[in-house]
């Protein structure tokens, strides 16, 4: 094992160059290499160290793929070349991004399993952890805090969304007509009521209603309201692309002929990824708080 946290090249690269710092990660690492090794034994300390290390690397990989996604927006999406290679690149980046987010969650579950000596067997992930821990009798307040996080509705919805993106992108390749591309600066024309809004690009291409809502909100930084719409005239909103819109996570597995206008997300997919990354990072850090407290108190740090 390394004697210093930043002695490991991958850790040093993520922390110093990519600024991927998980709160309490280094503190827990130090305890694993000192107190936990003495009290829990070398085997368990090495297992916990491996998962703890992996969690950081998976979060770091997701951050790197976020940067790749930004580069895709900056270079490939601003060109007027064929969308087919761009869609394929987008597929690869997003697939890797979500796979690493799920990998970070899986690794975190294993950390909890070893640190709290739950002795849960088999492949562990967020959903199997939730299911298996329902049968446990819990007296440890730190462990109760961890399980409360796993039952938190916002956390559950975030993980469910991440898993749906991951599963859909890996098992069912994204096709060009399942993504809405807005390139460069364009005038989006809207007409109708808020509930029956029709929207078109300057080229006359129809775009889904939620996409129009999202463009309006992005352009004017507020939600579209009924007062903004006069059915007797056009509402024109300028957008400064590129933008990419996907079906909502729960609709990603629908066939193209099954997709309806309201099945699309109203948020650009890059913004979706950034938000989910921040939420998963927050979930990991909030899990580390009681995990760290448990190690400090139960192992007499």
- Rounded to whole angstroms, how far apart are CA atoms 294 and 187? 56
Confidence of residue 205 (pLDDT cuts 50, 70, 90): confident
Of the candidates 23, 20, 43, the residue with the CA atom closest to the CA atom of residue 32: 43
Quick one: pLDDT at residue 301? 47
123-159 residue pLDDT tens: 889 999 988 887 777 778 888 899 999 999 999 999 9
- Look at 10-14, 112-116, 182-186, 195-199 and tell me which has the smallest mean pLDDT: 182-186
Residue boundaries of the structural domains of the chain: 5-175+274-298, 176-272
Return the half-sphere exposure (C-beta side, CA atoms, 13 A cut-off) of residue 43.
Answer: 1
- Rounded to whole angstroms, how far apart are CA atoms 63 and 100? 9
Q: Is the dihedral of CA 127, 128, 129, 132 positive or negative?
A: positive
Look over the chain and give the mean of its residue pLDDT values, rounded to a whole number. Answer: 89
Place of tokens 């895709």: 72
Please, are residues 156 and 105 in contact by the beta-carbon 8 Å criterion? no
Where is mean pLDDT largest: 206-220, 222-236, 277-291? 277-291
Quick one: pLDDT at residue 277? 98
Q: Please give the average per-residue pLDDT across 189-208, as a whole number.
A: 89
- Rounded to whole angstroms, how far apart are CA atoms 273 and 60? 14
Of the candidates 89, 274, 96, the residue with the CA atom closest to the CA atom of residue 181: 89
224-283 residue pLDDT tens: 888 888 888 888 999 888 899 999 998 888 887 888 888 999 999 999 999 999 999 999
Quick one: pLDDT at residue 33? 85
Name 189's bridge partners. Answer: 200, 236
Quick one: pLDDT at residue 300? 61
């Amino acid at each position: 094992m390394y004697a210093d946290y930043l002695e490991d090249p991958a850790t040093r690269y993520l922390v110093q160059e990519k600024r991927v710092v998980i709160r309490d990660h280094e503190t827990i690492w130090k305890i694993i290499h000192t107190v936990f090794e003495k009290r829990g034994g070398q085997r368990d300390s090495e297992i916990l160290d491996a998962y703890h290390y992996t969690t950081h690397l998976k979060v770091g990989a997701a951050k790197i793929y976020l940067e790749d996604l930004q580069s895709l927006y900056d270079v490939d999406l601003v060109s007027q070349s064929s969308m087919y290679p761009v869609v394929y690149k987008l597929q690869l980046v997003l697939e890797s991004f979500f796979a690493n987010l799920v990998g970070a969650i899986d690794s975190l579950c294993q950390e909890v399993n070893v640190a709290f000596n739950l002795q849960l067997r088999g492949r562990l992930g967020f959903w199997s952890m939730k299911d298996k821990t329902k049968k446990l009798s819990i007296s440890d307040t730190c462990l109760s805090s961890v399980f409360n996080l796993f039952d938190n509705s916002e956390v559950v919805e975030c993980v469910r969304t991440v898993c749906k993106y991951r599963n859909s992108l890996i098992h069912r390749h994204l096709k060009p007509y399942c993504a809405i591309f807005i390139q460069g600066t364009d005038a989006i024309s809207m007409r109708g009521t808020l509930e029956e809004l029709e929207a078109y690009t300057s080229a006359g291409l129809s775009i889904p209603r939620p996409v129009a809502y999202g463009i309006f909100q992005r352009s004017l930084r507020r939600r579209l309201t009924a007062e903004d719409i006069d059915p007797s005239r056009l509402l024109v909103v300028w957008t400064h692309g590129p933008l990419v819109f996907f079906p909502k996570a729960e609709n990603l597995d629908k066939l193209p002929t099954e997709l309806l206008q309201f099945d699309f997300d109203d948020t650009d997919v890059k913004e979706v990824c950034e938000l989910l990354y921040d939420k998963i990072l927050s979930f990991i850090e909030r899990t580390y708080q009681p995990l760290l407290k448990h190690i400090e108190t139960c192992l007499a740090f």
